[in-house]
Amino acid sequence: MTARADILARLRASGRGDVDLPGVDGEWRRYDDPRRQFADAVQAAGGSCVFCRREELGGRVDDLHSEVGARRVVSAVPEVDGRSVRDLGGERECADVELLLVPGDVAVAENGAIWVSDGCLPQRAALFLAQHLGLVVASASLVDTMHDAYAALAIGDRPYGVFVAGPSKTADIEQCLVIGAHGPRSARVFVVD
């Protein structure tokens, strides 16, 4: 017998029981002021958040650009100038990216997470190799909880999608929080109206 057949047979032999699968709907949290909750959550996750109009985005990105002292921006966001991610060569070239701008599809108020998929990012390594990260998301894509987020997404449509909440971090040495573990050292979210 193959391992597969063996394992499945063992599982089936132990019977199913009659445990119903609960529904997915519920009285989940609604925020009076989701924008504020989102900004707080991003901050709690170690990132920062700015709200702006679409025309202002370029200027706000320039601010970030000089703040982090990056030589140039690599951008996956059409409205933001910079070298396009599509021109990045192999993964190893991504290691030199200082500031990367990526679009997010959904922003989650309860925890500050942004959904980013590889649809806009041919080299997913860039998301983790970049020293600093800027995430651009439309204010209309802001939802309250993870339930709303999964309802809005089709996670199986792309090979890769990730909720990003703040920069990378670790607390593995004596529970001291250190920002910038393996991935970006900073993350700023631009919520665009």
Partner 1 sequence: MAHTELAEEFVADEDRARWHDQALWFVRAKRDAAAREVPEWEELRCRAAAIKRHAAAHLADYLEQFESEASARGAQVHWARDAAEHNRIVHGILAQRGAKLVAKSKSMLTEECGLNPYLAARGIRVVDTDLGERIVQLRAEPPSHIVLPAIHLRREEVGELFHRELGTPAGLADPERLTAAARSNLRSVFLEADAGITGVNFAVAETGGIVVCTNEGNADLGTSIPKLHIACMGIEKIVPRAADLAVFTRLLARSATGQAITSYTAHMHGPRPGAELHIVLVDNGRSQLLATRRDREVLSCIRCGACLNTCPVYRRSGGYSYESVVPGPVGSVLGAASEPEAKASLPYACTMCGSCNDVCPVRIDLRGQLFRLRQDLVESGLMPRHKRVAARLASWLMRSPRRFGIAGKVARWVLRRYPNSSALLAADWTAARELPRVPERSFRELYEQRERERRR
- Binds partner 1 (CB under 8 A): choice among 98, 125, 139, 144: 125
Q: Give the closest residue to 110 by CA, choosing from 146, 138, 163.
A: 146
Q: Under a CB-based contact definition with an 8 Å cutoff, are residues 60 and 99 in contact?
A: no
In sequence order, what are the residues at sequence separation of 6 or more whose Cβ sits closer than 8 angstroms to the Cβ of residue 188? 47, 48, 49, 50, 64, 132, 133, 134, 135
Q: Are strands 178-179 and 169-170 parallel, antiparallel or unpaired?
A: antiparallel
Site stretch for partner 1 (CB under 8 A), options 59-67, 75-83, 134-142, 164-172: 164-172
In angstroms, give the least distance from the CB of 78 to partner 1: 22
Interacting residue with partner 1 among 166, 188, 189, 190 (CB under 8 A):
166
- Count the site residues for partner 1 by CB under 8 A: 78
178 touches partner 1 (CB under 8 A): yes
Can you give the length of the chain in residues?
193
CB nearer partner 1, residue 53 or residue 95: 95
Residues 3-42 that bind partner 1 (CB under 8 A): 3-4, 6-8, 10-22, 24, 26-29, 41
Q: Does residue number 89 form part of the binding site for partner 1 (CB under 8 A)?
A: no
Question: Is the distance from CB of 193 to CB of 52 less than 8 angstroms?
Answer: yes
